[in-house]
């Protein structure tokens, strides 16, 4: 397996993407995931946001990353596709991200649904709209050989029956799953059962723990959280993560385990990295370095 991280870890520290690359190189982490920005914003332009804009040249960025021994595991274009505006804003966003990702040397793009039940749409209507959206997206993704991953994050995707329907929207090897260990847990589901059921479709993993206090306050009330507010291994989801790693080992899975946790400017995500490396070693799971 491979270890990576989502640059969301450094949102609160107001880091730039370049500073995230420096952290990756310093900590011997060779895979990185970030959000894509469609347009310009002052906070990104001033270097206070750890994501990448689509106006940045992907080939030059790929070269800078390679100089540090880092490559993309996935880029995040997860504008919710389940609401009325999904076809109008979400689909063009993902379609623009596909050729950009191809030039950047990234072969996975994250997509998802909304956190809540869509307003003014019943569930079947929303699913029908998402089916049309994913069929168009996957048609283009196949041409570029880019995998579109559905992330477990929202109202539909944290429901295993609805998720199964979504993964059947297209008969294509380019539509797969980004398993999120924390979102499935906070939604009141069993992350291990999610992994067991969908393990053959898992292409990318968000490794996310949940603090005891957050679980007590929000489990079953939310469908997704941006990052864990504790180091991975320090929360109530750690045993589930360990079991998921065993299931993926036995599959076998050779993709990226992307840490999603609050970084605190470095210390918390570094504890997460140490726990993940130690757990993989205990489970006799080899780690691919580059």
Provide the CATH number for the domain around residue 110: 3.20.20.150
Task: Tell me if 109 is assigned to some domain.
Answer: yes
Whole-number pLDDT of residue 116: 95
Task: Tell me if 290 is assigned to some domain.
Answer: no
Whole-number pLDDT of residue 226: 86
What does each of the 290 residues of the chain score in pLDDT, given as a tens digit?
999 999 999 999 999 999 999 999 999 999 999 999 999 999 999 999 999 999 999 999 999 999 999 999 999 999 999 999 999 999 999 999 999 999 999 999 999 999 999 999 999 999 999 999 999 999 999 999 999 999 999 999 999 999 999 999 999 999 999 999 999 999 999 999 999 999 999 999 999 999 999 999 999 999 999 888 899 999 999 999 999 999 999 999 999 999 999 999 999 999 999 999 999 999 999 998 76
Task: Tell me if 132 is assigned to some domain.
Answer: yes
Whole-number pLDDT of residue 96: 98
Task: Mark 169-200 as b/e (b = at least 16 C-beta within 10 Å).
Answer: bbeeebbbbbbbbbbbbbbebebbebbeebbe
Print the domain residue range for 217. Answer: 2-281
Rg over CA atoms, the chain: 18
Whole-number pLDDT of residue 290: 65
Task: Tell me if 255 is assigned to some domain.
Answer: yes
Q: How many separate domains does the chain show?
A: 1
pTM exceeds cut of 0.85: yes
What are the beta bridge partners of residue 53?
37
Task: Tell me if 286 is assigned to some domain.
Answer: no
| Cβ(178)–Cβ(149) below 8 Å | yes
- To the nearest 10 degrees (0 to 180), the angle between helices 160-167 and 123-144 is 40
Task: Tell me if 288 is assigned to some domain.
Answer: no
Whole-number pLDDT of residue 143: 98
Task: Tell me if 69 is assigned to some domain.
Answer: yes
Q: Kindly write down the DSSP assignment for every residue of the chain, as one continuous string.
A: -EEEEEGGGGTTTT--HHHHHHHHHHTT--EEEEEEESS--HHHHTT---SEETTS-HHHHHHHHHHTT-EEEEEE-----SSTTIIIIIHHHHHHHHHHHHHTT--EEEE---SSPPTT--HHHHHHHHHHHHHHHHHHHHHHT-EEEEES-STTTTSHHHHHHHHTSS--TTEEEEEEHHHHHHTTS-HHHHHHHHGGGEEEEEE----HHHHHHHTTT-S--SSBSS-TTSSTTHHHHHHHHHHHHHTT--SEEEE-B--TTTHHHHHHHHHHHHHHHHTT---B--
Q: How many CA atoms lie within 13 A of 155 on its CB side?
A: 18
Task: Tell me if 29 is assigned to some domain.
Answer: yes
């Amino acid at each position: 397996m491979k270890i990576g991280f989502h640059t969301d870890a450094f949102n609160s520290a107001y880091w730039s993407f370049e500073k995230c690359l420096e952290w990756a190189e310093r900590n011997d982490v060779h895979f990185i995931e970030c959000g894509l920005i469609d347009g310009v914003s002052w906070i990104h332009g001033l270097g206070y946001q750890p994501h990448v804009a689509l106006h940045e040249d992907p080939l030059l960025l790929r070269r800078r990353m390679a100089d540090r021994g880092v490559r993309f595991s996935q880029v995040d274009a997860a504008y919710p596709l389940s609401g009325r505006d999904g076809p109008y804003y979400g689909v063009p966003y993902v379609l623009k991200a596909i050729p950009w990702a191809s030039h950047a040397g990234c072969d996975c793009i994250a997509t998802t649904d909304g956190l809540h039940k869509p307003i003014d749409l019943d569930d079947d209507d929303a699913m029908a709209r998402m089916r049309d959206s994913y069929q168009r997206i996957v048609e283009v993704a196949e041409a570029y050989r880019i995998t579109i991953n559905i992330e477990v994050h929202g109202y539909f995707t944290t429901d295993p029956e609805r998720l199964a329907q979504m993964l059947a929207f297209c008969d294509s090897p380019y539509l797969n799953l980004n398993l999120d260990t924390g979102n499935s847990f906070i939604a009141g589901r069993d992350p291990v059962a999610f992994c067991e059921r969908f393990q053959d479709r898992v292409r990318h993993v968000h490794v996310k723990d949940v603090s005891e206090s957050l679980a007590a306050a929000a489990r079953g009330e939310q469908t997704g959280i941006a990052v864990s507010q504790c180091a991975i291994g320090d929360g109530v989801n750690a045993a589930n993560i360990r079991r998921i790693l065993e299931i993926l080992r036995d599959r076998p899975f050779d993709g990226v385990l992307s840490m999603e946790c609050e970084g605190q400017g470095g210390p918390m995500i570094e504890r997460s990295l140490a726990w993940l490396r130690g757990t993989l070693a205990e489970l006799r799971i080899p780690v691919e370095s580059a």
